[in-house]
């Protein structure tokens, strides 16, 4: 009988909402873990935020707060003092993915805290629904797919702050407020708003619940923004205040404008972009949050921070900024559901629950393609070479790299972003230190191609890259991905006005601008997943005014198995800077995918980078397939 009772008790535990909530959180952790591991393993982190925080943590664990990637003291950029408490974990596991796991743990933990809060207000099963909707809330999904920022830890502490405030556990509230303040310099504003809320609503306890948080938050905000960050920053003033320069030249000036001219603030807020942004935030909760403005007011400073900013990223749900807003939206939605449950018919309550479910799934379906896009997984089968090249760089080497390589290379003292070499906002401000000795660059990366997309800037971009790599050589390459080292390796591109006489006829001629006068391949036979070394010699017939790219096609009869686009001359000597008579020797390694044994053809076409169209080509040899595609050579896959 005792065993039967114990079995029933165990079954009851497994059916309990708390246990189910934990299981859902565990499933969410595992699913997200798989997604983010896949993203990292496939070089899906294509910005520099994760790399910045990873390098900062690595340097902090070695006693150095300076971050070369941003050229700043870590705490002079943002007041992320919470990093010091994460540091022991990073010291044990000095890897960028440690930060991703930390972000995931706090996200799942915040979902469980939301469940516990909702459980007390709208009962267990509706609370489970709300928690599930929080886990699939599109702004949260985009924030999880984005890089890393310590602000990702804020939702957990915001929910915990609300819970301790609701339970009137003062010491827990103060401890949580301190932890929240340590996350970032804007977090004290949330503590201030809780103090203001308590001054209005908590009669008899206004001094403790209102005065203490208000004074603590205000003091922390002033001390951090006016003293700590300016003292540690290398910039003459807070660079992030420039986002609000239309309101004032200083923090006090911005506040004065908001107080003296609220109409201007309202006009700046009620723009089409902001209204669309608010719709993206509130539609997934069926706009129920608007029924609890007193909860939303707790986040008013953060909303103002976003809505008044001149930075486009703060007016969209695609970045990590929404992490701090999401808790208040869901807390307000839960409070609204509580009001509906207590003051209307039960059917009305379930109508709003159903509305939230439908709206959430509608938005998830609406963004599913953007979710996949934000994974940013490289699908060119070159990832083994990416990892191989990254592993060839010693941790002691001062390194410059394209965005996709920054995170894997971040646990080191000296790391720099390649875009600082060529991108206008950094030119003149970024002076490459002499100790940089290694570079891992994707010459076809989007940032570099975009910077090269304006004809007027192309010669200047090329000159910056040429000047930087003047004494460098390639030690390894796979298509457009090149590992270069100072004073080592071979030249990818060599240019001369004196060379061998061209053959009786060129291999092919591209328009009237240049010809391929010589082509050699080190292998007519290759293994799958191998590289085919190629050497091209181009001859310019004029001072070329266009930038050309070559596109390689690997075919078997009419079946296309591989397509690769390459900017001729990489960005070291592209056609836009070729002069009449130049002979340009170029090395290129073409990747062969996993194919069945047999005979294949490698064909080429040429793209005008400005028009994005194939250019007519000609050849005296009877190898041309048509006027725009030319058979270059045959290849046997073993």
Report the pLDDT value the prediction gives residue 82, as an integer from 0 to 100.
Answer: 95
Least confident of 31-40, 48-57, 260-269: 260-269
The pTM of this model reads 0.88
In this predicted model, what pLDDT tens digit does every residue of 496-518 receive, in sequence order?
766 555 555 567 888 888 888 88
pLDDT band of residue 624 (cuts 50, 70, 90) is very low
pLDDT digits (tens, 9 = 90+) for 315-368: 899 988 899 999 999 999 999 999 999 888 888 899 999 999 999 999 999 999
pLDDT at 623 over 50: no
Q: What mean pLDDT is reported for the chain?
A: 86
pLDDT band at 7 (very low <50, low <70, confident <90, very high): very low
Tell me the H-state helices in 137-238. 138-145, 154-166, 170-181, 188-201, 212-222, 229-232
Distance CA 162, CA 328 (A): 10
Strands 617-618 and 508-510: antiparallel
Residues 363-384: tens digit of each pLDDT: 999 999 998 888 877 777 888 9
Overall average pLDDT of the 224-250 stretch = 74
- Over residues 101-117, the mean pLDDT reads 96
3-class secondary structure per residue, 355-408:
HHHHHHHHHHHHHHHHHHHHHCCCCCCCHHHHHHHHHCCCCCCEEEECHHHHHH
Q: Three-state SS for 436? A: strand
Token pair in block for residue 434: 């002499």
Measured on CA atoms in the order 197, 199, 204, 209, is the torsion positive or negative?
Answer: positive
Q: What's residue 501's pLDDT? A: 56
Cα distance between residue 181 and residue 601, in whole Å: 62
Q: Is the pLDDT of residue 68 over 50?
A: yes
C-beta of residue 50 within 8 angstroms of C-beta of residue 118: no
Other C-beta atoms closer than 10 Å to the C-beta of 440 total: 24
pLDDT in tens, 193-231: 999 999 998 887 888 999 999 999 999 999 998 888 888
**Contact of 601 with 612, CB cutoff 8 Å:** no
CA 95 to CA 118: how far, in whole Å? 36
pLDDT at 532: 87
**Is residue 427 over pLDDT 80?**
no
Please tell me the predicted confidence (pLDDT) of residue 10: 46
Contact in structure between 442 and 480 (CB atoms under 8 Å): yes
> What mean pLDDT comes out for the span 24-32?
96
**Which of helix, strand or coil describes residue 409?**
helix
Half-sphere exposure of 32 (CA within 13 A, CB side): 25
- Calculate mean pLDDT across residues 91-115: 96
What are the tens digits of pLDDT across the range 536-587? 899 888 888 888 889 988 888 778 888 888 999 888 888 888 888 889 999 9
């Amino acid at each position: 009988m005792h065993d039967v009772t114990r079995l029933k008790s165990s079954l009851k535990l497994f059916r309990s909402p708390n246990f189910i909530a934990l299981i859902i959180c565990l499933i969410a952790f595992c699913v997200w873990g798989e997604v983010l591991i896949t993203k990292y393993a496939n070089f899906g982190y294509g910005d520099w935020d994760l790399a910045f925080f990873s390098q900062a943590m690595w340097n902090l664990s070695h006693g150095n707060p300076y971050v070369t990637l941003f050229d700043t003291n870590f705490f002079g950029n943002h007041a992320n003092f919470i990093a010091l408490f994460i540091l022991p974990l990073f010291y044990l596991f000095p890897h960028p993915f440690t930060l991703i796991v930390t972000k995931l743990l706090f996200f799942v933990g915040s979902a469980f805290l939301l469940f516990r809060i909702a459980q007390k207000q709208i009962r267990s099963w509706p609370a489970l629904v709300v928690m599930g909707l929080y886990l699939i809330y599109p702004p949260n999904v985009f924030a999880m797919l984005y890089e890393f920022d310590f602000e990702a830890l804020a939702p957990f502490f915001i929910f915990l702050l609300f819970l301790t405030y609701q339970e009137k556990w003062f010491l827990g509230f103060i401890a949580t407020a301190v932890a929240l303040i340590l996350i970032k310099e804007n977090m004290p504003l949330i503590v201030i708003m809780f103090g203001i809320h308590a001054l209005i609503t908590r009669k008899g306890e206004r001094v403790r619940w209102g005065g203490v948080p208000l004074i603590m938050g205000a003091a922390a905000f002033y001390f951090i923004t006016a003293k700590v960050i300016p003292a540690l920053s290398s910039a003459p003033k807070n660079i992030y205040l420039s986002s609000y320069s239309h309101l004032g030249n200083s923090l006090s000036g911005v506040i004065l404008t908001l107080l003296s001219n609220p109409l201007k603030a309202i006009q700046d807020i009620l723009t089409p972009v902001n209204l669309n942004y608010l719709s993206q935030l509130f539609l997934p909760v069926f706009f129920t949050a608007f029924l609890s403005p007193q909860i939303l007011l707790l986040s008013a400073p953060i909303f103002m921070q976003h809505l008044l900013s001149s930075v486009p990223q703060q007016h969209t749900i695609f970045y990590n900024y929404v992490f701090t807003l999401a808790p208040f939206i869901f807390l307000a939605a839960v409070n609204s559901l509580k009001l509906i449950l207590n003051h209307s018919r039960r059917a009305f309550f379930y109508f709003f629950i159903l509305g939230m479910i439908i709206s959430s799934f509608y938005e998830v379906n609406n963004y599913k393609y953007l979710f996949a896009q934000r994974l940013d997984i490289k699908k060119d089968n070159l990832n083994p070479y990416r990892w191989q090249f990254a592993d060839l760089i010693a941790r002691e080497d001062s390194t410059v790299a394209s965005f996709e390589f920054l995170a894997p290379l971040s646990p080191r003292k000296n790391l720099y972003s390649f875009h600082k070499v060529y991108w206008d906002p950094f030119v003149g401000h970024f002076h490459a230190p002499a100790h940089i000795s290694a570079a891992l660059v994707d010459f076809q990366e989007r940032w570099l191609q975009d910077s090269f997309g304006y004809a007027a800037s192309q010669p200047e971009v090329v000159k910056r890259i040429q000047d930087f790599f003047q004494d460098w050589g390639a030690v390894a390459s796979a298509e457009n991905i090149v590992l270069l080292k100072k004073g080592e390796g071979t030249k990818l591109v060599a240019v001369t006005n004196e060379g061998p006489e061209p053959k009786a006829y060129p291999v092919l001629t591209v328009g009237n601008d240049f010809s391929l006068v010589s082509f050699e391949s080190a292998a007519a036979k290759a293994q799958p997943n191998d590289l085919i070394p190629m050497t091209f010699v181009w001859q310019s017939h004029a001072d070329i005014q266009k930038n050309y790219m070559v596109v390689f096609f690997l075919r078997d009869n009419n079946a296309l198995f591989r397509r690769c686009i390459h900017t001729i001359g990489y960005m070291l000597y592209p056609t836009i800077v070729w002069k009449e008579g130049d002979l340009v020797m170029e090395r290129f390694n073409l990747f062969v995918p996993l194919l069945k044994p047999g005979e294949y053809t490698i064909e080429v076409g040429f793209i005008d980078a400005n028009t994005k169209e194939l250019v007519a080509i000609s050849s005296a040899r009877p190898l041309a397939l048509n006027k725009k595609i030319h058979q270059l050579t045959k290849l046997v896959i073993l």
